[in-house]
Structure 1
Amino acid sequence: MTDDPTTSRAASAASAVTGPAPLLSQDFTDATVTELRHALRARVQAVGLTEDVGYDFVLSVHELVTNAVRHGGGRGHLELRRQDDVLICEVVDHGSTPGSLPVRLPAVDTAGGRGLWLAH
């Protein structure tokens, strides 16, 4: 054990970056989207997010996952964490678009294109 404040700060910074252990951490492809949705729903319900709020959360994340498959290289990774009383879900894909994507509702006569809007 050391009293070096630099070591202590480094350890604190590392835990702040990684956060609590994930409730769910899983790679996905088109073939595993449904399985992932069921696993996500089970974890979300297990932490008490139920009924409409839980359904909306799972739907939003599912939209991100299917967008990652369709537009982000065909695969990705989902990580679900709980920090205090907040559920945090991160979906990472392998698409070529850097940064944030615009969240716009398309025209009513346009088929599709609402996934990011729904998730937002």
Structure 2
Amino acid sequence: MGGSGPPADINSTGAGHTRRAASSLLARAFTTASITELRHAVAAAVAAAGLTGEPAEDFVLAVHELATNAVRHGGGTGHLHLRRQGDLLLCDVIDHGAGVDAPPIRQVAGDAAGGRGLWLADHLADSLSLRRRADGLTATVTIALS
């Protein structure tokens, strides 16, 4: 049975990270009324996964910005799924807003009110991806634990 290569549930991502079957750390629906509670739950789950200090604070803020965008621009509700995959934390924030394409990620003028959520998430996490679905948008941020 030997064989070379990793077991079926382990793959190299090519970026120095190992990808394993993901384990769910937190899954929760949210609304405007529960954003603060959600942020605390994400912070606790991130800490329990071993991410601490400034990287943890940055990642929690990135997730918070995405959740805030979901309720403001994505239909008033959302769903969050935080998981660990090898040495990565991944967090999907899913909304049900209308739209044709994923919104642009850009820095807005300093005197503009709002509009910084995606830009902040992109800069605070290791990566941000946006995927438009027929019924909304999925924003995914990642950060390495090591």
TM-score when normalising by structure 1:
0.82
Alignment partner of 2:51 out of 39, 49, 52: 49
Which residue identity does 2:105 align to in structure 1? V
Instruction: Give the unaligned 5+ runs of structure 1.
Output: 1-11, 13-18
**Cα displacement (A) at 1:22:** 1.2
Alignment partner of 2:74 out of 61, 72, 75: 72
| Identical counterparts, % of pairs | 59
**Contact conserved, 2:22 with 2:86, CA < 8 A, in 1?**
no
**Contact conserved, 2:80 with 2:91, CA < 8 A, in 1?**
yes
**Structure 2 CA distance, aligned partners of 1:117 and 1:59?**
12
Runs of 4+ in 1 over 4 A off after TM superposition: none
CA RMSD of aligned residues (A): 1.2
User: CA-to-partner distance for each residue in 1:38-96, whole Å, 9 max, x for gaps?
Assistant: 00000000111100000000000000000000110000000001000000000000100
Greater CA deviation, 95-104 or 41-50? 95-104
Larger helix percent: 1
Instruction: Give the unaligned 5+ runs of structure 2.
Output: 1-8, 10-20, 123-146
SS in 2 for 1:23: strand
Alignment partner of 1:91 out of 86, 93, 96: 93
Which residue identity does 2:70 align to in structure 1? A
SS in 2 for 1:73: coil
**Structure 1 CA distance, aligned partners of 2:100 and 2:93?**
14
Alignment match, 2:39: 37
Larger strand percent: 2
**Structure 1 CA distance, aligned partners of 2:100 and 2:63?**
20
* 1:100 aligned onto 2:102: yes
Task: Find the structure with the greater CA-based Rg.
Answer: 1
